[in-house]
Structure 1
């Protein structure tokens, strides 16, 4: 099996052009992404044919679960397609089908060389149904299910006000008052990710506003 190892902003992938090959991709992702006994990666990216776009991307994370989409993965797959001749060398923009939406990726050139790949992830979606969020499974109070901002959850005795959004895949953003480096991300992150209110799990990010200027 031929593969290419790539990364976008440190988010690393094993990329495979599958054609119409049928395999147990979940099992392969677990094996191939293992950093001790496999190649090692955050995710396995698959390039497949598409009837709606230039091609399809499927993303299987290291635990074998399939992700809806991945911004860094889209940029890597676009570069892969260009360098491997999947698209013409004079291509300026391509469309990639994911599980949730079709994403357009633009190629930025400088002096005749492609130096950047820009993925247009589309508009953010804030509604509970679109993220998705199972309100009935949680204890937080929701004033407006169309804007899941400042939704309160308690995780391991820590109260968090989460800002929930979908960019084709679900995200929960928590704004820290203190240093981001001091936040117990490795402990709290997986607990938030697997809360029952998130039927497809969720990507958990933390941030701190340093200045409003």
Structure 2
């Protein structure tokens, strides 16, 4: 069977979107996801996004990293899916319910409420997540927050002086983080501005990470470094993050459709034929 796909990106963080809301897709597993994501022998992407029907929302969004691991949340993908849907939507994810709304600034996503308890990150053992008493070389005393998926944030003078390709995977796979971790290095440039680079769990160094922008903004706000609405600038471009008084995080930014196509499911390991 041939499967239609849409290639999209949010600030350069790119996705293959498979829409199974009307017509069933073959089972999606880690091997199938990583085969599609391969940039040499597949279509190529940071994440594979699978849309499915939902009993509790307008639809369900599943997120697979390039290594095939399924994860809870992806802010950039939510904006992309919101653009594809074309109207306000309640979206079920493993990380909870999120709400996307088209706006003049692109797509606005209500991401839910941050969690700071050590076992909500999760960490391997209890500690203060506001100023963690840990260090990896020059990166010290981070803050940890779960915004649908887990993040650790280091505030530094110059994020671009950090060798993220080397130290990112070291922190991601540290035993302190039993479910691995997304690694953020951020510089505060004004009360309403942050510069950010992200090593994404299962995907590597990325041009943009929506949940990373949310987590970093919340971490900076918790420490009193910035105001409740900030622009977070990643290598791919800026996102606006607001932490509302009701504790909800709202992210606003662009999303882009690159192209559409189709592929033979069997070419990527999906051998079960679905009647359509």
| Residue pair 2:139, 2:154 contacting (<8 A) in 1 also | no
Structure with more strand by fraction? 2
Q: What's the TM-score, normalizing by structure 2?
A: 0.64
Q: Summarize the alignment of residues 1-213 of structure 1 with structure 2, pairs less than 5 Å apart.
A: 1-19=3-21, 20-82=24-86, 91=87, 93-108=88-103, 116-135=106-125, 142=127, 144=128, 148-155=129-136, 157-177=137-157, 179-212=158-191
Q: CA RMSD in A?
A: 1.7
- Please list every run of 5 or more consecutive structure 2 residues that lacks an aligned counterpart in the other structure: 193-276
Q: How has the CA–CA distance of structure 1 residues 48 and 181 changed in structure 2, closer, same or farther, with 3 Å as cutoff? A: same
Rounded to whole Å, the distance in 2 between the matches of 1:73 and 1:25 is 19
Offset at 1:122?
1.5
Q: Tell me which stretches of 4 or more aligned residues in structure 1 moved more than 3 Å.
A: none
Rounded to whole Å, the distance in 1 between the matches of 2:162 and 2:139 is 13
2:35 is paired with a residue whose SS is: helix
Rounded to whole Å, the distance in 2 between the matches of 1:10 and 1:208 is 21
Rounded to whole Å, the distance in 1 between the matches of 2:66 and 2:133 is 29
Rounded to whole Å, the distance in 2 between the matches of 1:102 and 1:38 is 31
- Please list every run of 5 or more consecutive structure 1 residues that lacks an aligned counterpart in the other structure: 83-90, 110-114, 137-141
Q: Residue deviations 1:19-61, cap 9 Å, x none?
A: 4434243112111111111111100000001000000000000
Q: What's the TM-score, normalizing by structure 1?
A: 0.82
